[in-house]
């Protein structure tokens, strides 16, 4: 069901510093920051030849990433995103298998303007999983 790895997301306490590391130290192509108020984050995408990195930084007081950074002050891998062809079919299959879909199970529009869902990390080996319909 899942397809390509769309991105690996890294929560960062200092977005400008993280951008500098990827742009200047690692020599990657770094995009401009995008505010995602519905998700409580500011994101910066970085292109790699075979996938993307998504730097995520809290936006607003209720950001889910703020709690993650409170537990991981230096930052860390926050989620991985797999591509699916049909997000509603993927959700229905996962729910039938007993997996927990976060946020009530209705897809939201993600950073690429496409529908996304998040899956509970306890059902996926401790890793928060994002599904993006492509
Ligand atoms: Co993501």
pLDDT digits (tens, 9 = 90+) for 12-26: 999 999 999 999 999
| 54 Cα–ligand 1 center, Å | 6
pLDDT of 64 higher than 90 = no
Q: What is the pTM of this model?
A: 0.94
| 130 Cα–ligand 1 center, Å | 6
Has 106 been annotated as catalytic?
Answer: no
Domain 5-133 in CATH 3.50.50.60? The answer is no
| 96 Cα–ligand 1 center, Å | 24
> Which value, to the nearest 10 degrees, does the dihedral of the CA atoms of residues 47, 16, 75, 57 take?
-80
Report the SS3 class of residue 121: helix
Domain boundaries, the chain: 5-133
Q: Which residue has the tokens 């991981």?
A: 72
pLDDT of 53 higher than 90 = yes
Could you give the CA distance from residue 70 to residue 23 in angstroms, rounded to a whole number? 26
In tens, the pLDDT along 75-123 reads: 999 999 999 999 999 999 999 999 999 988 999 998 889 999 999 999 9
Q: Which residue has the tokens 């991105």?
A: 7
């Amino acid at each position: 069901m899942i397809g390509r790895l769309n991105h690996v997301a890294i929560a960062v306490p200092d977005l400008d510093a993280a951008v500098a590391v990827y742009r200047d130290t690692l020599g990657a192509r770094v995009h401009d920051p995008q505010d995602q108020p519905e998700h409580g984050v500011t994101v910066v995408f970085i292109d790699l030849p075979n996938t993307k990195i998504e730097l995520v930084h809290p936006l607003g007081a209720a950001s889910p990433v703020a709690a993650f950074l409170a537990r991981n002050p230096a930052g860390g891998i926050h989620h991985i995103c797999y591509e699916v062809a049909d997000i509603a079919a993927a959700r229905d299959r996962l729910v039938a298998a007993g997996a927990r879909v976060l946020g009530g199970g209705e897809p939201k529009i993600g950073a690429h303007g496409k529908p996304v869902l998040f899956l509970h990390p306890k059902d996926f080996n401790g890793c928060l999983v994002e599904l993006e319909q492509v």
